[in-house]
């Protein structure tokens, strides 16, 4: 059991694998610029430990060259963080944000104790919205839609799946939040047992959000705070990337249900009801 008094207001973890050092330094600097008493865990899944030079009094470097995956890497840090702060941030190395963004999020979480996990509005560096607040995927949404040759049909599916009609301008309960920037209560993480380490990459964030919701917490999209994601989608013409993606999807649907998933249907129906005129 953890003590009620935490040494930090918030902790964070970044998992890296041969990432760009300049971009990574920018992500770390964004977190360090917050007004909170804070600590960052840098989990390096790379073969080399050259990023150890980034360790400081408030940045703990963990070299993990076995590379067990995104979620498993974060779990290493979060097991340490559970008794250190009320909130923990899952942070991608290609994220940056202005001072005040994290403060707004924590203020909202402090005022809404039933919220277990939260994602802010995510923009590209040029200011365009990234549509990362989504419904729980059906196999068609997650796999087939990516390869549809008909642009209009694919756009119609994306508009619904990515909740684009909401205009991303209001607070919503959303069941699938992107793992690029997630703030959650450490008590919620402790209840659900962290990321599922059977997932190497790509569906670990969906799975975590579902289990947080099952544990009785809300999963919230919070556009009052904004972060920037310097992200480029990987092409699935890369066979290795596609295999990882497909393996992840198969595991996820085997776990939660392929075509008959009543919970998914009910959650998605409730989510869509928020954005009706």
Q: Is residue 116 part of a domain?
A: yes
Question: What is the largest distance, in Å, between two alpha-carbon atoms of the chain?
Answer: 56
Could you read off the pLDDT tens digit of each residue along the chain, which spans 277 residues?
666 688 889 999 999 999 999 999 999 999 999 888 999 999 999 999 999 999 999 999 999 999 999 999 999 999 998 889 999 999 999 999 999 999 999 999 999 999 999 999 999 999 999 999 999 999 888 766 666 666 777 788 889 999 999 999 999 999 999 999 999 999 999 999 999 999 999 999 999 999 999 999 999 999 999 999 997 665 555 778 888 888 999 999 999 999 889 999 999 999 999 887 5
Q: Is residue 101 part of a domain?
A: yes
Alpha carbon distance 256, 264 (integer Å): 9
Domain containing residue 131: CATH number: 3.90.550.10
Alpha carbon distance 269, 254 (integer Å): 22
Q: Is residue 261 part of a domain?
A: no
CA quadruple 129, 26, 19, 222: dihedral sign: negative
Alpha carbon distance 177, 185 (integer Å): 15
The tally of domains found in the chain comes to: 1
**How many of the other CB atoms lie within 10 Å of CB of 270?**
11
Q: Is residue 262 part of a domain?
A: no
Q: What is the DSSP string of 110-146?
A: HH-TTEEEEEEEEE-TTSPBP--EEPPPPHHHHTGGG
- Put simply, whether the predicted model's pTM sits higher than 0.85 gets the answer yes
Domain enclosing residue 224, as ranges: 10-135+172-232
Q: Could you say which DSSP state residue 37 is in? A: -
């Amino acid at each position: 059991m953890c003590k009620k008094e935490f040494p930090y207001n918030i902790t964070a973890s970044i998992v890296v694998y041969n990432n760009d050092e300049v971009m990574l330094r920018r992500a770390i600097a964004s977190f360090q610029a917050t007004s909170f008493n804070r600590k960052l865990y840098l989990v390096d899944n790379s073969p080399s430990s050259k990023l150890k030079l980034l360790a400081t009094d408030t940045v703990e470097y963990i070299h993990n060259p076995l590379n067990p995956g995104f979620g498993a890497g974060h779990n290493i840090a979060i097991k340490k963080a559970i008794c250190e702060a009320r909130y923990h941030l899952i942070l991608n190395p290609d994220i940056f944000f202005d001072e005040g963004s994290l403060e707004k999020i924590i203020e909202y979480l402090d005022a809404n104790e039933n919220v277990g996990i939260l994602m802010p509005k995510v923009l590209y560096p040029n200011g365009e919205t990234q549509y990362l607040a989504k419904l729980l995927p059906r196999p068609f949404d997650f796999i087939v839609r990516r390869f549809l040759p008909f642009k209009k049909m694919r756009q119609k599916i994306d508009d619904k799946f990515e909740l684009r009609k909401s205009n991303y301008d209001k607070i919503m309960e959303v069941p699938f939040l992107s793992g690029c920037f997630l703030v959650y209560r450490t008590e919620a993480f402790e209840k659900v047992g962290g990321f599922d380490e059977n997932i190497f990459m790509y569906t670990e964030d969906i799975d975590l959000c579902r289990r947080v919701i099952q544990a009785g917490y809300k999963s919230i999209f919070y556009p009052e705070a904004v972060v920037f994601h310097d992200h480029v989608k990987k092409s699935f013409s890369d066979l290795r990337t596609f295999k990882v993606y497909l393996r992840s999807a198969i595991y996820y649907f085997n776990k939660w249900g392929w075509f008959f998933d009543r919970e998914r249907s009910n959650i998605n129906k409730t989510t869509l009801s928020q954005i009706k005129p």
